[in-house]
Structure 1
Amino acid sequence: MFILILLLAMLLYGGIVYYIGWVGYRWIRPETSSRRFKTLYILILVFTASSFIVGRMSGLTFLNVIGAYWMACFYMLILLVPLAHITVILLRLTSLPKHKTQKWAGFVTLSLLVSFMIYGVYNAYSPVVRKFDITIEKGTSSLNTLNIVMIADTHFGLLSGKNHAERLVKEVNSISPDLILIPGDLFDDDVQPFLDQKIDQILSKLRAPYGVYASLGNHDKHDGTMQELIDSLERSEIQVLYDETLNVQDQFTLIGRKDKIDPERLSLNALMHDVDLSKPTILLDHQPYDLDIAKQEGVDLMVSGHTHGGQVFPGNLITNAMYENDWGHLQKEQMHSVVTSGFGFWGPPIRIGTRSEIVTIQVEFE
């Protein structure tokens, strides 16, 4: 069944690439098109269209980079080319010259593609700081407020690399947080680029009086053992909560869950069995599911990522339909859910309709 689905997906992908390539060739071919030009065009199209798949399979860095940018272009072309094609067909009903309308359609499509790519890359690599103010009706005599910085979905790897990590540390430390939470997807499917670029050493410079804590997400993978992956993070002085609870200086409790796809993940009820609910309880859960269960178990604040806010429009319409809270702040009785669109990105290094972000949560205790 898996092989059949994979084959159908490849056929669909190949069909779309063929359609885009065919339309593109008709727009850009010279008036005296030569066999050499056509052959070169086909070779370039086949190379770029296969670079994402071959790069993932081979691990070759340059193919992975080309593939990522190709997927960004491919996504935009899926939206732009059919629209331009329909426009050209409609313009044939007018007295405008057919050849000129095709040329102009190609020029406008290319201009829009370049513009959207520049805009999308800027949004991906230029994070903003978003702030949420919440009130929790708990606390201790010495804990009145808590300034939390939450970052997720950094996807550190080939494209979200050393410079992006340094930007993260600089921005976060400038906020002077009391507590830093990272609910998953620190890696982009492989820990090795993270280690090769010494991003663990960069993240070790994050500073917060109550510490830096993380849970793991569906892209936090490693060919070796999970403990090796956790160790690579804890060398960054980031404490990983892997289906664990932690009482922090007798002020509040942190709960970090395994990702939803992990078959050995404990239930939230089992994790919270010995938690003192008279103190604030904060849950790190990568995927923002089961908000009602978190509310019923007495969680006060649940921080998540995973959705990327859709990353590229109209992806946000899909995530909005899938999750009760796909981005931002949602309160359900005493429980607050905060979901970030993420500091990094997955796949194509673009964001359209979303922005890379760092989230600050200013908590007031009553």
Structure 2
Amino acid sequence: MNRRTFLRSTGYVLATALAGTYSVFIERNIVVVNRYTIPIANLPPSFHGFTLAHLTDLHFGPLVSPSFIQDVVAETMLLRPDAIVCTGDYVHAKNTTTEIDQVWPILMQLKAKHGVFSVLGNHDHWADTNRSLYWLERSGQNLRHQCKAITKGKERILLGGAGDYWEDQLKIDHLFASTDDKECRILLSHNPDSVDTRFKTPVALVLSGHTHGGQVVLPFFGAPVLPVQNKKYSSGLIVTEKTKLFISRGLGWTIYPVRFNCYPEIALLQLVNPALTA
């Protein structure tokens, strides 16, 4: 091996090592607050500017410490959102209640003027369905298979919570059955593939996680790996044939403990009525 070839090979090795170190130990732990404006045509005027802090995919467990979750909760509270929504996968491990019992007392510290609303993800079921449901109910945040109203004066918006796409029943039509089609409905559903299922209820916005934004996003290519059937569902606001879909990049990791060009996020969503923004 001549000197030039040796230096080139050494450079490749060092670059790969640095990229790996950065992805595992640095970017994975840098939580950013991303602000999104979400236009909703049938948003009641009194809710124009209403803010939702969206948390998802914390994956408490290996390499995601109690202090990390505590910091996320504290940062979310500092944002003073009107309401907080959580879309599942709070724990990482399978077939154990240990992580569930550790993470939920921290999540119960979340408070907002108009409430905190949560559903479960597949990992919560894989860990222990009954224990996850116990804490979901005990927390007062339970929205699974339910519809709850947030009211301001005589106007309201409706929040509904679907069951997990893989490990539960969605029941989207059922949970909105007693509501009017003209009302502004927002659905929490962990897996964005639920948007493509058969439901008839008009929904203005679906909030999801599950994808982690792919965790690794390559310039000019996007995310090579997405754990969804519809590969258009990566992150951010997506307009589908049925509804608007917002997918958060989430906070934790799965499969591999890396993030590259895909920082963990607390998503702060500002709902606006387009007719009032001119």
The aligned residue for residue 241 of structure 1 is: 143
1:362 aligns with 2:270: yes
Structure 2: tracts of 5 or more residues without a match: none
Deviations 1:139-169 (A, max 9, x none): 4464333101111111011321211111101
1:163 aligns with 2:163: no
The aligned residue for residue 259 of structure 1 is: 164
Question: Aligned pair in 2 of structure 1 residues 298, 172: CA closer, same or farther (>3 Å)?
Answer: same
- Distance in 2 of aligned mates of 1:189 and 1:318: 21
Question: Aligned pair in 2 of structure 1 residues 145, 229: CA closer, same or farther (>3 Å)?
Answer: same
Deviations 1:277-313 (A, max 9, x none): 3322111111112535689621011011111111124
8 Å contact kept, 1:287–1:305: yes
2:203 to 281, 299, 302: 299
8 Å contact kept, 1:289–1:323: no
Question: Aligned pair in 2 of structure 1 residues 223, 184: CA closer, same or farther (>3 Å)?
Answer: closer
8 Å contact kept, 2:91–2:100: no
Question: Aligned pair in 2 of structure 1 residues 339, 258: CA closer, same or farther (>3 Å)?
Answer: same
Alignment of 1:216-365 (within 5 A): 216-221=120-125, 224=128, 226-235=129-138, 237=139, 239-249=141-151, 251-262=156-167, 264-291=168-195, 297-313=201-217, 316-319=223-226, 322-332=230-240, 335-365=243-273
Q: CA deviation at 1:127?
A: 0.9
- Distance in 1 of aligned mates of 2:200 and 2:272: 22
**SS of 1:220's equivalent?**
helix
- Distance in 1 of aligned mates of 2:170 and 2:238: 25
- Distance in 1 of aligned mates of 2:12 and 2:205: 45
Q: CA deviation at 1:336?
A: 1.9
- Distance in 2 of aligned mates of 1:130 and 1:294: 31
Q: CA deviation at 1:233?
A: 3.8
**SS of 1:124's equivalent?**
helix
The aligned residue for residue 14 of structure 2 is: 111
Question: Aligned pair in 2 of structure 1 residues 326, 137: CA closer, same or farther (>3 Å)?
Answer: same
Deviations 1:175-233 (A, max 9, x none): 1001111111111134644356x432322221211111111111113565x33212224
1:147 aligns with 2:51: yes
Question: Aligned pair in 2 of structure 1 residues 167, 294: CA closer, same or farther (>3 Å)?
Answer: farther
8 Å contact kept, 2:216–2:224: no
Q: CA deviation at 1:317?
A: 3.1
8 Å contact kept, 2:100–2:132: no
- Distance in 2 of aligned mates of 1:161 and 1:220: 17
8 Å contact kept, 2:54–2:86: yes
Q: CA deviation at 1:333?
A: 6.9
8 Å contact kept, 2:90–2:103: no
Residue identity matched to 2:99 = F
The aligned residue for residue 173 of structure 1 is: 77
8 Å contact kept, 2:49–2:272: yes
Question: In terms of Rg, which structure is larger?
Answer: 1
- Distance in 2 of aligned mates of 1:273 and 1:141: 24
Q: CA deviation at 1:135?
A: 2.1
8 Å contact kept, 1:303–1:337: yes
**SS of 1:354's equivalent?**
coil
**SS of 1:343's equivalent?**
coil
The aligned residue for residue 114 of structure 2 is: 210
Q: Higher helix share goes to which structure?
A: 1
Q: CA deviation at 1:316?
A: 0.7
- Distance in 1 of aligned mates of 2:224 and 2:62: 28
- TM-score with structure 2 length normalisation? 0.82
Q: CA deviation at 1:172?
A: 0.5
